[in-house]
Amino acid sequence: MFSIKPAVCLVVILSLVILTGCGAKQTAPDKNGVVHVDGFLPDRAHDEFKFSDGVVLTHGDPDVGHWARVKYNDGDEVSVYFSLGEGAGLSTGEAFDAVCKNYSNCPYAVYQRRNYGVAPLDGQDWMDTDLWLLVGFDIYKEFIKYQACRDNRFYSAADLKTLMDVMDKVDKDPVASKSDPEVQDHLLTDDALERRLPVCNWRHRISLDSAYPTPANLEKVRILPASHSRTTYVEIKTDRGSVDVYVDEGKKRLDKFVFVSPKGSSTLRPVYEGNDCATFDRCEHFVFGPEKKPGRFDIRSLDGEPLSNSRIFEVDDTISGAKNYDGCAGGRLYSGKNRHEIENEVKEAIANPAPPPVQGAPMMGAPETSESGDVVIPDTFCDWAFRREQAEAIKKSQAAR
């Protein structure tokens, strides 16, 4: 035995020397503060990013699945994966599966030996969501909660519409709003579970913005699920304002469009009650108006085309009684009292279209006057290709739900 022990010890010592000499290599921090660590084995390679409360480790090798792990300075740890894991066979797993259509955007988290699923409900990236479904995947502690946050305040309810009742009030007036008795309301910092799970604007909340910035896009799309007093709507936000597309989920159709700008808002609504508006795609009759009189203008297509494709339509002011004819072609909107003149303007515009709008140009330019005395407004929506592109974007947003 005495002759074996020195040999064993020698092997152990040599192994430690080898491991020490071949220790994990790491790069210098890049411009965003991310360090790449090679590790002893390829599947141990990862990136590290330090933030004020700890360090984030991420691994994106597609052969072994991607994950993230956060090690907090106080010893707490949360792991983030992208599969149902142990919850696949549970009733909460079925609920999670029904909500989450894209698992790359639905993290599965492990915290303090408990398993949780997070499914964004607002159409945002999981790292940016402030409205989500949280499920517990443990067989002895299953639960389903609808949750949201605003300004580090946290809200939780057993059903989504009740939660959205409160969120509508918060978004309208954060100071005066009060939570519903059925909705839990507390500071995010008061709850260790929610504070450590990847929820509530996680990217910004734990300072990941510089290392993993929000995907760049010109327009931000956010889904607002239905409350008890309003339907679901999709908010399409730009630096010039937003367009809110309301969806009647019961009848599976678009309900109305609300255009919001710093100067106010206006509404465009298809009139489904008539024979000329069986579906949104074929609707020839809309009403339009400002916030206080959303049905002021009655708009009808005059060329047998749905309004989204119409080149000439009638606009009646239901308050003043004035009637105008509008023509839309070649990137220009024409408006006047004489239908025949507007039709001629449209023919001329089709033959001589305006140059396509440059990226970032306003929807409408400064009004001018044509030789016939009609009002002419440069209008990107009077470009058919642009209008079809916008219509397709709206359909895709609706289908993504």
Query: For the segment 352-377, what is each residue's pLDDT rounded down to a tens digit?
Result: 776 665 666 556 666 767 767 777 77
Whether pLDDT at 18 is above 50: no
Give SS3 for 265: strand
Give SS3 for 308: coil
Select, from the ranges 22-36, 74-88, 218-232, 347-361, the one with the highest average predicted confidence (pLDDT): 218-232
pLDDT digits (tens, 9 = 90+) for 252-279: 888 999 988 888 889 999 999 878 998 8
CA dist 55 and 42 (Å) reads 21
Cβ proximity of 31 and 209 under 8 Å: no
Which distant-in-sequence residues (6+ apart) come within 8 Å of 23 by Cβ?
40
Confidence of residue 101 (pLDDT cuts 50, 70, 90): confident
Q: What is the mean pLDDT of residues 93-111?
A: 83
Q: What are the strands, taking DSSP E only, across 34-103?
A: 34-37, 46-51, 54-59, 67-72, 77-81
Distances (CA, A) of 207 to 27, 58, 111, 212: 21, 15, 20, 9
Whether pLDDT at 22 is above 60: no
0.75 exceeded by the pTM?
no
Q: What is the mean pLDDT of residues 231-240?
A: 84
Q: What is the mean pLDDT of residues 226-245?
A: 87
pLDDT (0 to 100) of residue 391? 66
CA dist 324 and 305 (Å) reads 18
CA dist 330 and 378 (Å) reads 9
Least confident of 41-45, 209-213, 303-307: 41-45
pLDDT (0 to 100) of residue 98? 82
Q: Any alpha helices (H) in 22-159, and if so which ranges?
A: 91-99
β-strands 114-120, 141-150 pairing: unpaired
Confidence of residue 157 (pLDDT cuts 50, 70, 90): very high
β-strands 332-336, 375-378 pairing: antiparallel
The amino acid at residue 345 is E
pLDDT (0 to 100) of residue 374? 75
Return mean pLDDT, the chain: 80
Whether pLDDT at 379 is above 90: no
Whether pLDDT at 164 is above 80: yes
pLDDT (0 to 100) of residue 37? 82
Least confident of 17-31, 93-107, 365-379: 17-31
Q: Which of 214, 202, 185 is nearest to 53 (CA)?
A: 202
pLDDT digits (tens, 9 = 90+) for 72-93: 999 999 998 887 655 555 778 8
Q: What is the mean pLDDT of residues 45-58?
A: 84
Between 30 and 360, residue with greater pLDDT: 30
Q: What is the mean pLDDT of residues 55-72?
A: 71
Confidence of residue 94 (pLDDT cuts 50, 70, 90): confident
* Planar angle of CA 215, 111, 128, nearest 5 degrees: 20
Q: Which of 204, 199, 214 is nearest to 129 (CA)?
A: 199
CA dist 219 and 239 (Å) reads 8
